[in-house]
Structure 1
Amino acid sequence: MREVLDRVVAPFAVDRRVLALAGARMADGIGNSFLIIVIPLYVTSGVVSGTAFGLGESMIIGLILSLFGFLNSSVQPFTGRLSDRVGKRKPFILIGLAGLATTNIAYVFAETYVSLLVIRGLQGVSVAFIIPASIALVNELATTGDRGGNMGVYNTFRLIGFGAGPVVAGAVVSRGPYPLPSGVTLNGFDAAFWIATITATISYGMVTVLVSDPESTVANAGADLSIPIRDRAGPNALDPVFTLGLASLFMATAIALFATIQPQVNARLEQGATWFGLQFAAFIIAQVALQTPIGRACDRYGRRPFIVTGMALLIPTTLVQGFVLSSELMFLARLSQGIAAAMVFAPSLALAGDLAGAGESGSKLSVLTMAFGYGIALGPLSSGVLVSYGFRVPFVFGTCLAVLGTILVYTQIEETLETTSPVPVVGDD
């Protein structure tokens, strides 16, 4: 099995464990992204009963989707730091995948808003075990010269799964019910939840068989694993990892504004769930196409030029979504926003990885993943509140965050990679 994997890995120029982990995250990403589309439809279908706490449907959907992100992000620093102290990554990934598979199937039995909130919250905790350990493992299997490429390959496969889910999810729900050979009929929602469970189980099996911790991963209990806010050694006011965390928070919030307001988007553009799924996936399509080449390019030309340019591009690509009036233009806007995010994501992880010392990968990189998770949580919640003031308001809010993030990375981030052929950024001397 490992010999076959080695032959598959060769064209990607990464450690086989990175590719195996990327494939596993692709599998669980399919199931997890299913739920982003399915849960809003489930809430508005009439299947769910009970009190809505006096809130409208958009707000309830925002709470359910956001709770995942808030708990996920809040727990990540602890799991990341714990994996540093223990000196192992794989057990944390397996614990998270087991929890994800269990909670996915629990949706089949959920019939109230409270049960949906509890299940989604438990999923957030489960994924908090997976993300910091996975990113730390990729970081430790890479070197300074190929860290961006490894991060790019990992994110590409993970995002293939995350992007494929929304496209398929709407079709799975709408084409139900499904008669089974046993005589039982499976409705579209239950079919989606079962698919999510199966993909998480496949991911668990892949990590168990194909992934192992590198020998160099050691516990570092005596180290100071805190993340400073001020720059202790450099010329800037803010610590670079903390700054990248803020930029990731703002970027993720702008990206995630779209998810909660599916009913409003569909009504404004006079489209159905399939078009919305394609628009949601357009962001992922751009990242899948660009993560690996951008990651490898930042290994050659430096991290900072890509991060600054990507944040600047996020400004117009977020704003335009509040003004387009056709499904095709919204698809192009989301695609362009994905290009912007692709220029930021892998180079940011690579830069933070460059700054992480021995035994610090989980703690340092969890700052970025935690911040991104908070943004994914704040985005839906923000748009759920702001859309009542007008369709454009959430996107104007996201644009303001993108402007602030651009200013921060331009003024507070220094290059960590020595390069011979730097790529200039507009405005640099």
Structure 2
Amino acid sequence: MFGADRRVYTLAFARMADSIGNSFLIIVLPLYIGSNVITGDAFGLGAALITGIILSAFGFLSTILQPIAGYYSDRTGSRRIFIVIGLVILAGANYVYSLAGSYTAMLAIRGLQGIGVAITIPSTVALVNELTTEASRGGDMGIFNTFRFIGFAAGPILAGSVVNGGPYYVAGIAMTGFEAAFYIAALGALIGAILIMLFVEDPDAEEQDAEAGSDLGFAIFDHDHDTLIDPVFALGLALLTVAIGIAMIEPLQTDINNHLNQGAQLFSIEFSSFIVAQVFLQTPIGAASDRYGRKPFILGGLIVLIPAMLAQGLVTTPLGMIVTRLIQGAAAATAFAPGFALAGDIADTGNSGTTFSVLTMAFTLGTAIGPLIAGYLISFGYVVPFAFGAVLSGLGAFLVYSQVEETHGITSETAGSGGQPVGQD
């Protein structure tokens, strides 16, 4: 489980540093947009709506561009340069937030962030895949996702303290709490880029160039097996349902607090419970999928998500919500690492960037539209968004059951599976 190539750990640490910076902005941007710093034309929209548009622009633009970025990283045979370029763009975007004073500027910067992430993510996951073998891929994907979630969890916790602790004085220069938060977010992305430049190289770049295909590396329909939908695309749709369910809680904080008669602190604990389960379970579950197969874990996680999602709309105490969020996190962890490992088993080395872009695109899209769906459905009743999330989880489970075949122990014997074996460093 812990014998991964050191470059996998470097990629994981770089992703953690980047995630800390990005998740900072989950807390900071709404506060910054709502402050007196942002002025000018809001396009005739209310403050809440323009804030939602600015926040969502990141996810939608990133979703559109990820397959393109993955495709070109396949064609060039170089992952590292795409990762570094994306992180540098992200660092620059995070920094210039401190200079923005209008809604138009905020929207443009948020779009630039989306471009940086779109360039980075497919190449990062593809490189992790290419640094692993089928025997260790699940555990390595679990390690990578674990560090990502640690960064995602740490960012919001630190952000509130940084913003409220300002102003700061560093070397005689004064900065507000907002400026300090943006600088930290930029530093996180920059640290990630430096780590990649110093400690990571593309594996066997010449072989990758030779194997890179001329197409996008994935399809919607499957013409080679008995299934209707291409297994990677079906897996992407299943992870889309998981991501929507994860993101649904974000806009419902006030409704949940009123329903459970609780304050913001308890909501924070409930929100974090999901991430705690992810951090502790991603790696062991991924490693278990290396031993027992991918599909049983993915399918089992999606099935458990059905009652876990519905229960969140039915519990009447904060403790009940914490427990259901822990179960939801455990179920999602059971699907994530084995799901990415299964895609890696299927992917040809030369097309792994576009193959993984299907999954990363689905997750990004789910986190973008989940809050919008929840915000709309809550008007029909408190339980409705959670029931809808349960139905989506059921659809995801059906897709995996009917359209995804087991790959572990099979793909490498019958076809060129994902990454070629790479010596341990």
Cα deviation for residue 162 of structure 1 reads: 1.1
User: Which residue number in structure 2 is paired with residue 212 of structure 1?
Assistant: 201
Stretch moving more, 405-414 or 323-332: 323-332
Matches within 5 A, 1:36-75: 36-53=26-43, 55=45, 58-75=48-65
TM-score normalised by the chain length of structure 1: 0.88
Cα deviation for residue 73 of structure 1 reads: 1.3
Instruction: Please tell me the residue identity of whatever aligns with 1:176.
Output: G
User: Which residue number in structure 1 is paired with residue 219 of structure 2?
Assistant: 228
Q: Does 2:190 correspond to 1:201?
A: yes
| Preserved contact between residue 321 and residue 395 of structure 1 (Cα < 8 Å) | yes
Structure 2 vs 1, CA of residues 290 and 375 (structure 1 numbering), >3 Å: closer, same or farther? Answer: same
Instruction: Please tell me the residue identity of whatever aligns with 2:53.
Output: L
Distance 1:190 1:325 in 2: 40
Q: Does 2:273 correspond to 1:282?
A: yes
Kindly provide the CA deviation profile for residues 67-112 of structure 1, in whole angstroms up to 9, marking residues without a partner as x.
Answer: 1111111111011110111000000000111011111112212233
User: Which residue number in structure 2 is paired with residue 341 of structure 1?
Assistant: 332
TM-score normalised by the chain length of structure 2: 0.89
Cα deviation for residue 274 of structure 1 reads: 4.5
| Preserved contact between residue 257 and residue 383 of structure 1 (Cα < 8 Å) | yes
Q: Does 2:392 correspond to 1:395?
A: no
Matches within 5 A, 1:265-414: 265-269=256-260, 271=262, 273-414=264-405
Q: Does 2:71 correspond to 1:81?
A: yes
Distance 2:404 2:170 in 1: 59
Cα deviation for residue 377 of structure 1 reads: 1.0
Cα deviation for residue 326 of structure 1 reads: 4.1
Instruction: Please tell me the residue identity of whatever aligns with 1:90.
Output: R
Structure 2 vs 1, CA of residues 390 and 138 (structure 1 numbering), >3 Å: closer, same or farther? Answer: same
Cα deviation for residue 29 of structure 1 reads: 0.6
Equivalent residue in structure 1 for 2:235, among 239, 244, 258: 244
Structure 2 vs 1, CA of residues 353 and 115 (structure 1 numbering), >3 Å: closer, same or farther? Answer: same
Kindly provide the CA deviation profile for residues 351-393 of structure 1, in whole angstroms up to 9, marking residues without a partner as x.
Answer: 1111111301111111111111111111122223333444433
Distance 2:351 2:317 in 1: 47
User: Which residue number in structure 2 is paired with residue 187 of structure 1?
Assistant: 176
Equivalent residue in structure 1 for 2:80, among 90, 101, 104: 90
Distance 1:353 1:140 in 2: 8
Matches within 5 A, 1:19-168: 19-53=9-43, 55=45, 58-168=48-158
| Preserved contact between residue 40 and residue 61 of structure 1 (Cα < 8 Å) | yes
Structure 1's consecutive aligned runs of 4 or more residues displaced over 6 angstroms after TM superposition are none
Distance 1:413 1:392 in 2: 31
Instruction: Please tell me the residue identity of whatever aligns with 2:296.
Output: P
Cα deviation for residue 183 of structure 1 reads: 5.4
Cα deviation for residue 289 of structure 1 reads: 0.5
Kindly provide the CA deviation profile for residues 175-218 of structure 1, in whole angstroms up to 9, marking residues without a partner as x.
Answer: 33233155554333222222111211111111111111111551
Structure 1: gaps (5+ residues):
1-10, 420-429
Distance 1:198 1:235 in 2: 49
Instruction: Please tell me the residue identity of whatever aligns with 1:253.
Output: I
Distance 1:186 1:390 in 2: 44
| Preserved contact between residue 66 and residue 381 of structure 1 (Cα < 8 Å) | no
Question: What RMSD, in angstroms, separates the aligned Cα atoms of the two structures?
Answer: 2.2
Structure 2 vs 1, CA of residues 368 and 179 (structure 1 numbering), >3 Å: closer, same or farther? Answer: closer
SS across alignment from 2:4: coil
Stretch moving more, 301-310 or 32-41: 32-41
Give the aligned length.
408
Structure 2 vs 1, CA of residues 269 and 180 (structure 1 numbering), >3 Å: closer, same or farther? Answer: farther
Structure 2: gaps (5+ residues):
411-425
Instruction: Please tell me the residue identity of whatever aligns with 2:91.
Output: A
- Percent sequence identity over matched residues? 53
Structure 2 vs 1, CA of residues 396 and 64 (structure 1 numbering), >3 Å: closer, same or farther? Answer: farther
